């Protein structure tokens, strides 16, 4: 077992014509779920006014991106009609845009929702199907100069946890994302606007999630920033036998390990707590290397 950090790549993330530098400081994406049924915060921010206040408070806690979603993707969930999803997210995005300069992403797989969100001022499309459910979102994102988060998911939320199986999860997901990058470029998206996400919990068993997090650095050679979403997810619940309300420490542990393994962006419910942990991790990783091993150390190590 090795706990050496991989050198996190420094890279540019281009959003609506602005180049943001990623890789030195971990970015935090704060979750704003305007839903009645999300697995952790369902119903808490379904009211648009509450969702806006929540988004603003996450921004004041240091979120770099506010991720606004109107459809739960918890395992077994059914899709929400586009019109309903649009009704949930667009007023929240429009009001957040009016009141904060923080970047805003829309968590959707649907063209109509993504389009209305970008028109209302969103900067980034966060697509958990990586354009698999509607490839036209790539052209849309390209036309707006939007950022595009492409996440790996096996199947759909309804079926994804029905005995998922991989021969080699890391290699399969890396190859999937490489293919999606090619499709995005063919649709006119700038390579600098793409962010990759292995999709923790989306069609993965416990072991797959642990292996993916421990080998996140396998995605580094695709040369794009990496985002991970571990926040209060079921794999932490399984490890700790804890309900979503009781998964903060596990979330922080997984998030910090994600940073050690090269994650550039963490998608979380708890912006202040995870943001503070990430700041400490960033500082430790930026410390100068220690002395080179002596010949004696090498001999003792065997
Ligand atoms: N996870 C969730 C939703 N969107 N997007 C990306 N890019 N990566 C993720 O890991 C990810 C995501 C699920 O979390 P949450 O939004 O808290 O729950 P729900 O889907 O029940 O609303």
Beta strand pairing call for 27-33 and 265-268:
parallel
Burial of 205 (0-12, 13-18, 19+ CB in 10 A): middle
CATH code that applies to domain 11-301: 3.20.20.20
Contact 102, 275 (CB under 8 A): no
Which atom in ligand 1 lies closest to the alpha carbon of residue 233? 14
Question: Which contacts (CB < 8 Å, 24+ apart) does range 179-187 have?
Answer: 180/130, 180/131, 180/150, 181/150, 181/222, 181/224, 183/131, 183/135, 183/138, 184/131, 184/138, 184/142, 184/148, 184/150, 187/135, 187/138, 187/139, 187/142
Q: How far is the CA of 38 from the centre of ligand 1 (A)?
A: 9
Of residues 267, 279, 299, 300, which has the active-site annotation? 267
260 vs 256: CA distance, rounded Å: 6
Of residues 110, 174, 224, 233, which has the active-site annotation? 233
Instruction: Record the pTM.
Output: 0.95
Which atom in ligand 1 lies closest to the alpha carbon of residue 37? 21
**Residue closest by Cα to atom 11 of ligand 1:** 229
Task: Please report, in tens digits, the pLDDT of each residue of the chain (302 residues total).
Answer: 555 556 788 999 999 999 999 999 999 999 999 999 999 999 999 999 999 999 999 999 999 999 999 999 998 898 999 999 999 999 999 999 999 999 999 999 999 999 999 999 999 999 999 999 999 999 999 999 999 999 999 988 998 888 889 999 999 999 999 999 999 999 999 999 999 999 999 999 999 999 999 999 999 999 999 999 999 999 999 999 999 999 999 999 999 999 999 999 999 999 999 999 999 999 999 998 877 777 776 676 65
Q: How far is the CA of 4 from the centre of ligand 1 (A)?
A: 29
- Cα 129 to its chain centre, rounded Å, is 12
164 vs 91: CA distance, rounded Å: 37
Buried b (16+ CB within 10 A) or exposed e, 138-157: bbbbbebbbbbbbbbbbebb
Does the active-site annotation cover 204?
A: no
Does the active-site annotation cover 233?
A: yes
Q: How far is the CA of 84 from the centre of ligand 1 (A)?
A: 18
């Amino acid at each position: 077992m090795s706990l050496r950090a991989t050198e996190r790549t420094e890279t540019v993330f281009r959003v609506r014509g602005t180049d943001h530098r990623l890789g030195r400081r971990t970015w935090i994406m704060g979750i704003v779920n305007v839903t009645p049924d999300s697995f952790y915060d369902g119903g808490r921010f379904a009211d648009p006014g509450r969702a806006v206040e929540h988004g603003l408070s996450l921004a004041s806690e240091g979120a770099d991106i506010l991720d606004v979603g109107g459809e739960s993707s918890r395992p077994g969930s059914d899709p929400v009609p586009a019109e309903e999803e649009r009704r949930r997210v667009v007023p929240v995005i429009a009001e957040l845009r009016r009141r904060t300069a923080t970047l805003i992403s829309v968590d959707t797989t649907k063209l109509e929702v993504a389009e209305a969100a970008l028109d209302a001022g969103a900067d980034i499309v966060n697509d958990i199907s990586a354009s698999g459910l509607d490839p036209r979102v790539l052209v849309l994102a390209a036309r707006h100069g939007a950022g595009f988060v492409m996440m790996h998911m096996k199947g759909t939320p309804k079926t994804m946890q029905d005995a998922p199986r991989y021969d080699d999860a890391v290699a399969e997901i890396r190859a999937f994302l490489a293919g999606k990058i090619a499709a995005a470029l063919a649709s006119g998206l700038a390579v600098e606007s793409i962010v990759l996400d292995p999709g923790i919990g989306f069609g993965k068993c416990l072991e797959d999630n642990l292996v993916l997090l421990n080998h996140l650095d396998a995605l580094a050679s695709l040369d794009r920033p990496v985002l991970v979403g571990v926040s209060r997810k079921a794999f932490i619940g399984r490890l700790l036998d804890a309900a979503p309300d009781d998964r903060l420490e596990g979330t922080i542990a997984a998030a910090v390990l994600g940073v050690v393994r090269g994650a550039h962006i963490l998608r979380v419910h708890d912006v202040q707590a995870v943001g503070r942990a990430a700041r400490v991790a960033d500082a430790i990783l930026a410390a100068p290397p220690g002395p080179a091993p002596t010949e004696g150390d090498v001999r003792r190590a065997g």
